[in-house]
Structure 1
Amino acid sequence: MIVDCHVNVFDADQTLPLFHSLTPTSRPGAMGLAADADTLFAAMKDVDKAIIFSLRYKDAIGVDGDDEVTARAVAKYPEKFIGFAAMDPRRPDYMDLLVHAIEDLHLKGVKFGPIYNGVSLLDPRLEPVYEYLQKKNIPLTMHMGTTFGANAPINYGRPLDVDTIAARYPDLKMVMAHMGHPWYEECIVVARKHPNVYCEVSALCYRPWQYYNILVCAQEYLITKRNKIFWGTDFPWATVQESIDGLLNVNDHIEGTRLPRVTQDTMDAILHSNPLEHWWHGGYPG
């Protein structure tokens, strides 16, 4: 089984000029800019399930999404997609939108980007969010790591704040996206410490030297043995095939050296990891 735990969905009219000016330089190599439901379904043909979410990152990267586009995609392709809600705590109606997304639209998790919304994980506005998610058995995926966004406070992308929140809310399942790059060591030690904290490797395949070091570090801290790391693409920023190839070929560029290898067990465990067994207490309720 292959589950893509990190897929972005948005319609063309939800992308702004800022998105089209910034995104082509956001990664090495070319990427597509479409991420509507039909595009996602075609792109995800080789995975069993995909966790999808819209982005409310209007002022940071120029995507002004909403939960309805996610819910419509799930309704159109229910066997393929699992929907998460987007959240922007700066909005006065953020809790109403969250409750609507979970209780009316029946989305199964939440995605939040502190660096994109300019709101720290330690901000008091997030306390009712954490309490609600913990009570409802809803996982929280967080963008952890830097970004290309023009209006994004980089310090909010560091993973260490997850340590504080995970201790305060031990029943809240938290997922650090992108292994907290470039602060991957912080991500790894936080995931190792807390039973309720996980991480995932989306959008790392196109930085192979960093990706290699991340996985070796994760092996050395033994979190690769504990169902802590999950696989994803961050589509449209990366495709399924390049994300699979990036993982399975991560040792290629150290061939002929005595550097440590990422083991086949590690690669297999990540590629065939199943968040549906771990991110909800008692397993995926869908």
Structure 2
Amino acid sequence: MPDRPFTDWHTHIYLPEHVGPVWTDRGLEMVGRKAFGEADPQTHTRTMEAAGVSRFAIVGLQIANMGMHIPNDFIGTYLHANKDRAIGIGSVDPTQPNAAGNLRVAVKEWGLHGVKISPPYQGFHPHSEEAYAVYRAAADLGIFLMFHQASVFSPNGFHEYASPSLLDKVAREFRSTKLLLAHFGKPWMNETVELMMKNRNVYADVSTLPLKTWQMYTGLRLAIEGRVTDRLVFGSDFPSFNPRSAADDFLAISELAMPLPIPRADVEDILYNRPFEIMVPS
């Protein structure tokens, strides 16, 4: 159990009408909860306080082909209500008209700190011109890029666009922009670690992985051997997972009886010592 407050780098807020039928139906099929759980602002606030989360990132997502649209002003309003303890990560869908322009407006109006995009969910190649328009806007605005560059649950998703290695070109060409890969790029943690070793502007969160013991163990061993644990951050992916339970599961990785253990100090360092300033200049 966490013995002191911690930061949750990956939490969501949304209303039922924001998530669309695919997310809702697939949630019922996979975990027995509509849209993976309730995530209205009031529920989010209560959950963070009860879990001992001192600071949190609020992550939006827009996926046109799934009917998902969490408005950036919805994220921004909640960010402003929690500006002393939160950062806001909006979203645009590069496949939609004027995505880069919409990002510029949202960041300037609401002070968002990052933007989340997802080639395998939204259905675009990371090297496409529409994607590059969003990258250039993020670079101009001085915000970071968060990628769901990992497996997807939607039957209509695009795993051919999901490989973390596809982001090497982006990391090379936007050296002054930080990239944060959600879910450690699962199940391609080896690729993610190699990407991080090569590019100092690439980070990753470990959200959803504590539930997948072998993937989390393997990913952390790779990160330790690659000397990139200083760029791993903890995330729960609330409401899919409760932050306290996710933190408990994450800490428990160090208790596995394995020939190559995960040192408790490394796990605690990731959970407790990752201030927002590593991604967002103060």
TM-score (norm 1): 0.90
CA–CA distance in 2 between the matches of 1:123 and 1:197?
Answer: 20
Q: CA RMSD in A?
A: 2.0
Partner of 2:278 in structure 1? 278
Partner of 2:58 in structure 1? 52
Aligned AA (2:277): E
How high is the sequence identity, in percent, across the aligned residues? 24
Partner SS state of residue 97, structure 2: coil
Partner of 1:217 in structure 2? 222
CA–CA distance in 2 between the matches of 1:170 and 1:143?
Answer: 19
Task: Confirm or deny: 8 A CA contact 1:231 1:273 kept in the other structure.
Answer: no
Aligned AA (1:162): L
Partner SS state of residue 15, structure 1: helix
Task: Confirm or deny: 8 A CA contact 2:27 2:34 kept in the other structure.
Answer: no
Task: Confirm or deny: 8 A CA contact 2:6 2:55 kept in the other structure.
Answer: yes
Partner SS state of residue 171, structure 1: coil
Partner of 1:249 in structure 2? 252
Task: Confirm or deny: 8 A CA contact 2:27 2:33 kept in the other structure.
Answer: no
Measured against aligned partners, the alpha-carbon deviations of 1:224-271 in whole angstroms (never above 9, x if no partner) come to: 2xx21011111111111121111110144x43xx52110012101110
Aligned AA (2:142): N
Partner of 2:261 in structure 1? 261
Task: Confirm or deny: 8 A CA contact 1:53 1:67 kept in the other structure.
Answer: no
| Residue 43 in structure 1 maps to residue 76 in structure 2 | no
CA–CA distance in 1 between the matches of 2:161 and 2:31?
Answer: 20
Aligned with 1:112 (options 105, 113, 117): 117
Measured against aligned partners, the alpha-carbon deviations of 1:162-206 in whole angstroms (never above 9, x if no partner) come to: 111111111111111111111100000101111111111011111
Alpha-carbon spacing, 1:272–1:29, altered in 2? closer, same or farther (3 Å): farther
Partner of 2:81 in structure 1? 76
Alpha-carbon spacing, 1:29–1:98, altered in 2? closer, same or farther (3 Å): closer
Aligned with 1:21 (options 21, 25, 28): 25
Alpha-carbon spacing, 1:10–1:152, altered in 2? closer, same or farther (3 Å): same
CA–CA distance in 1 between the matches of 2:216 and 2:131?
Answer: 31
Structure 1, gaps ≥5 residues long: none
TM-score (norm 2): 0.91
Task: Confirm or deny: 8 A CA contact 2:36 2:240 kept in the other structure.
Answer: yes
Alpha-carbon spacing, 1:206–1:99, altered in 2? closer, same or farther (3 Å): same
Partner SS state of residue 112, structure 2: coil
CA–CA distance in 2 between the matches of 1:47 and 1:105?
Answer: 23
Measured against aligned partners, the alpha-carbon deviations of 1:32-59 in whole angstroms (never above 9, x if no partner) come to: 5211111111111111111112221243
CA–CA distance in 1 between the matches of 2:60 and 2:192?
Answer: 24
Task: Confirm or deny: 8 A CA contact 1:56 1:65 kept in the other structure.
Answer: yes
Task: Confirm or deny: 8 A CA contact 1:2 1:271 kept in the other structure.
Answer: yes
| Residue 3 in structure 1 maps to residue 35 in structure 2 | no
CA–CA distance in 1 between the matches of 2:246 and 2:193?
Answer: 20
CA–CA distance in 1 between the matches of 2:30 and 2:119?
Answer: 18
CA–CA distance in 2 between the matches of 1:36 and 1:77?
Answer: 14
Task: Confirm or deny: 8 A CA contact 1:31 1:238 kept in the other structure.
Answer: no
Correspondences of 1:138-153 after superposition (within 5 Å)? 138-153=143-158
Q: CA deviation at 1:20?
A: 2.0
Aligned with 2:94 (options 79, 89, 100): 89
Task: Confirm or deny: 8 A CA contact 2:24 2:34 kept in the other structure.
Answer: no
Higher helix share: 2
Partner SS state of residue 52, structure 1: strand
CA–CA distance in 1 between the matches of 2:217 and 2:102?
Answer: 39
CA–CA distance in 1 between the matches of 2:72 and 2:20?
Answer: 18
Measured against aligned partners, the alpha-carbon deviations of 1:110-136 in whole angstroms (never above 9, x if no partner) come to: 111111100121111122222222232
Alpha-carbon spacing, 1:30–1:188, altered in 2? closer, same or farther (3 Å): farther
Alignment length (residue pairs)? 276
CA–CA distance in 2 between the matches of 1:50 and 1:14?
Answer: 21
Q: CA deviation at 1:77?
A: 2.9
Aligned AA (1:3): T
Task: Confirm or deny: 8 A CA contact 1:112 1:142 kept in the other structure.
Answer: yes
Correspondences of 1:115-134 after superposition (within 5 Å)? 115-134=120-139
Measured against aligned partners, the alpha-carbon deviations of 1:147-175 in whole angstroms (never above 9, x if no partner) come to: 11122101212100111111111111111
